[in-house]
Chain A
Amino acid sequence: EPEVTQTPSHQVTQMGQEVILRCVPISNHLYFYWYRQILGQKVEFLVSFYNNEISEKSEIFDDQFSVERPDGSNFTLKIRSTKLEDSAMYFCASRGDRGGGYTFGSGTRLTVV
C-alpha cells in the first residue's frame, strides 16, 4: 500500500536554528499538507499546497514557516528560527485528485531546546 514517508523521525534543535522537515508524498497525489500536533492535543492544520503554490494556510503558519516542492517527489517544511513552542509532531499528508481519504505520514517529532 502506498505510503507517505517523513524524515527524520526525530529532530532535536536549538532555539533559533533553522530546521527542514522532509516528506515524500504518494507519487500520484496532487494535494499536499503539513499539520502539527503538540503533545496531547489535537492535530492542527498548517498549510496546503497544490499546483506548486500554497493554496491555504492557518494562523500558525507565519513568516517563520515556508514550504517547497523542490522536485517531483519531495515536499519540505522549513522553520527559519525555531522557538520552544514549535516543539511538536509534524505530519505530512497527501491526497489524490479524486478526493477520498488523506494519507498521513508517521510524523517528525521536533524538539526545540
Chain B
Amino acid sequence: GESVGLHLPTLSVQEGDNSIINCAYSNSASDYFIWYKQESGKGPQFIIDIRSNMDKRQGQRVTVLLNKTVKHLSLQIAATQPGDSAVYFCAENTGTGRRALTFGSGTRLQVQP
C-alpha cells in the first residue's frame, strides 16, 4: 500500500553510482505512467513516461521499467549526479486526455558527492 505522511522513503547513493527508484501502483486499468522529479519549493518536473504496451523505455541517463503483472514501475538513473537529488514521484492514469494523474507517495533521492 501507499505510505502517507511526513516521512518519505529515502535512497542515498554515491555520485556516479546508478540509482533505482521503485513504485507500486494499484489500479490495473492504468495504462499510462510518468515519473516526475520535484526539487524543494518547485513543481513536479517531467522525467519520462511509458505506456502499458511497453515494458521499457529509455531516455537520457534514465530508464523506466514497467511490470504490469505485479503492477510495478521503476526508474533507473545512470551515473547519478548531485543535481539528481530530489523527491521522485510516479504517477498513473488511464490514458484518456482529460483523466487526472494519481501520484504515488514519493521517494527522496540523496546523492552524496
A23 to B47, CA, bound (A): 22
Is A43 an interface residue, CB under 8 A from the partner? yes
Question: How many inter-chain contacts with C-beta < 8 Å in the A-B complex?
Answer: 73
Which of A31, A100, A105 meets B43, CB within 8 Å? A105
Whether A41 contacts B5 by the Cβ 8 Å rule is yes
Return chain B residues, CB-CB under 8 Å to A103.
46
State how many residues of chain A have any CB contact under 8 Å with chain B: 32
Q: Are B42 and A44 in contact (CB under 8 A)?
A: no
- B8, B95, B103: most-surrounded residue (chain A CB, <10 A): B103
Contact code string B81-111 (vs A, CB < 8 Å = 1, else 0): 0000000010100010111111111100000
Q: Which residue of B lies closest to A49 (CB)?
A: B98
1/0 per residue, CB under 8 A from A, across B14-46: the answer is 000000000000000000101010000111111
Asked if A99 contacts B43 (CB within 8 A), the reply is no
Top 9 closest pairs, chain A to chain B, by CB = A104-B43, A40-B6, A101-B46, A43-B103, A45-B100, A55-B98, A50-B98, A42-B105, A104-B44
